[in-house]
Amino acid sequence: MPKQKHYGPYLIKRNARYDASGRLTHRGTFIIADGEARHSTGCGFGNPEEAQVAAAEAELKLHEYKTAKYAHQAGQGLVNVEAEFVKIGELIVYYLLEHEEKIGKMTKPRRREFLSQVERLTAFWGEKMVSEINRKNSTKYQEGKSVSVVRNELILLRSMINFAASEGKLKKYDKQLNFVVPRLQPRMHYFDVDEVIAMYKGAMRTRHTWHGKKTYRMASHIAKFILVAVLTGSRANRIIQASFVLEKGRPWIDLKSGIFYRRPEGEFVPDNKQADPVKIPKRLLALMKIWHHGIGKTRGTKYLCEYQGRPADCRKGFWTLKNKVLSEERAALVNRHSLRHTSATILLQGGVSVDDVGVYLSAEPEMIKKVYSHVIPGEYSPVHRVLDAKQPRRPRPGAKPELKVVGGTGAHG
């Protein structure tokens, strides 16, 4: 049997020894092993009942030893501390301090959502050591929470731990931690063209009412969001943060060159959330210039999705709009991300290759084919030719073979 690998200090049990007559010669004990060093706990035992008591006392001694060692290392400012000596709460605080500027630039709804996630993570994980991120605790954390919510929170926790490790604040080993991040069931719903038009018109026709009279448009920023999402296939957070003026930390729409830089310079993005620059279609570019510079009595805007002079997160407004325009059943199936699916579907059904769609949406071609294969024209043509072909009729089991008369009428003269 292979020897068990330990991370950090652990307990070794030395059993009691007896002579041939059964008389106790050496009391059993528990020892703390820390690398090559061995430390006595003073917890001895001579029979099974005493062994149970000694084991509990030894666990407390081990905990005290780990705490003292971690405090000593932290006081010396040491780096690459073992996961068993690092509190998760301290790493959460470290992450917040190091990302203070980035958090401050979040939109108010996004910052409120982020801080709520941090609060829930801290309440459960704050006093635990990093080494306690295992299947049992991760599963317990998920109890009573929706899959989508707890998934995002565990991904955030994992990114915090990985960030601390990359900064040298923590030493962790491959497969040492188990976050048990739940997987979402794939859901690919998209708007048809008529629904997109209805949503756009519904947003443009929504006006503020003052003493029974309609005044200014309240949801024109949502209409812009819908158009840009469908015509560029960009993710929602890239659109609502985009600016027509080059601004640090924000996606930039370069109206002069006609390029949408969906990722701010220097921003790190995970492999599954790429946001490469995209050439803006000509008709959309012409509209964007009007949005920025203004026309007639309509003033221009600095940000793509702007409401009352500030960048706006149209999450709630979009939810209200879809429930107003679409049926209850249909509105429950689609969301803002469905507009990205709509963009991909329109391009694929229009004959654009999978590779070109992947480049335009900043997604891997393999992912495009996996998610959208059922909407690609001709994708299953060979399969359907076989399944749709009419097969020759076969005799029923047990039926007598049919006799065929070959030539003549069968009459004899």
394 assigned to some structural domain: no
pLDDT at residue 1 in the model: 46
Kindly state whether residues 157 and 222 are assigned to the same domain.
no
Q: What percent of the chain has pLDDT over 90?
A: 48
207 and 159 share a domain?
no
CB 137, CB 128: distance < 8 Å: yes
- Contact yes or no for 160/91 (Cβ under 8 A): yes
Considering the domain architecture, whether residues 266 and 223 belong to the same structural domain is answered as yes
- pLDDT confidence of residue 401: 66
Q: Are residues 61 and 89 in the same domain?
A: no
Give a yes or no: residue 215 inside a domain.
yes
- Could you tell me if 211 and 295 lie in one domain? yes
> Could you tell me if 241 and 325 lie in one domain?
yes
Task: Establish if 410 belongs to a structural domain.
Answer: no
Answer whether residue 131 is part of any domain: yes
Whether residue 174 lies inside any domain: the answer is no
Q: Which residue range is the domain that position 50 belongs to?
A: 10-75
* CA distance linking residue 201 with residue 197, whole number of Å: 6
Domain final residue, candidates 57, 75, 93? 75
Furthest-apart CA atoms within the chain: distance in Å: 121
The mean pLDDT value of the chain amounts to 86
In the numeric block, which tokens belong to residue 287?
């509209």
Q: Which among 41-55, 99-113, 184-198, 284-298 has the top mean pLDDT?
A: 284-298
The answer to whether position 233 is within a domain reads: yes
Is there a single domain that holds both residue 247 and residue 340?
yes
Are 355 and 211 contained in the same domain? yes
Query: Where is the domain boundary, 34, 52, 75?
Result: 75
**386 within domain boundaries:** no
The pLDDT of residue 410 is above 70: no
- Judged by average pLDDT, the poorest of 21-25, 123-127, 153-157, 307-311 is 21-25
* Average pLDDT rounded to a whole number, residues 229-254: 95
- The residue from 75, 94, 126 where one domain ends is 75
Together in a domain, 284 and 368: yes
Residue with tokens 């030539």: 407
Give pLDDT tens digits for 330-358: 999 999 999 999 999 999 999 999 999 99
Are the C-beta atoms of 315 and 111 separated by less than 8 Å? Answer: no
Residue 283 has pLDDT above 70, yes or no: yes
Number of folded domains in the chain? 3
Are 112 and 234 found together in one domain? Answer: no
pLDDT of residue 133: 93
pLDDT (0 to 100) of residue 76: 52
**Quick one: angle between helices 193-204 and 220-232, nearest 10?**
150
Q: 234: number of CA atoms within 13 Å, CB side? A: 29
Would residue 353 count as lying in a domain? yes
Do 98 and 230 sit in the same domain of this protein?
no
3-state SS track over the chain: CCCCCCCCCEEEEECCEECCCCCEEECEEEEEEECCEEEEEEEEECCHHHHHHHHHHHHHHHHHHHHHHHHHHHHCCCCCCEHHHCEHHHHHHHHHHHCHHHHHCCCHHHHHHHHHHHHHHHHHHCCCEHHHCCHHHHHHHHCCCCHHHHHHHHHHHHHHHHHHHHCCCCECCCCCCCCCCCCCCCCCCCCCHHHHHHHHHHHHCCEEEECCEEEEECCHHHHHHHHHHHHHCCCHHHHHHCECCCCCCCCEEECCCCEEECCCCCCCCCHHHCCCCEECCHHHHHHHHHHHHEECCEECCCECCEECCEECCCHHHHHHHHHHHCCHHHHHHCCCCHHHHHHHHHHHHCCCCHHHHHHHHCCCHHHHHHHHHHHCCCCCHHHHHHHHCCCCCCCCCCCCCCCCCCCCCCCCC
My answer on whether 19 and 128 are in the same domain is no
Helices 108-125 and 135-142: angle between axes, nearest 10 degrees = 130
Selected residue with higher pLDDT from 3 and 317: 317
For residue 360, the domain's CATH number is 1.10.443.10
Indicate whether 373 pLDDT > 70.
Answer: yes
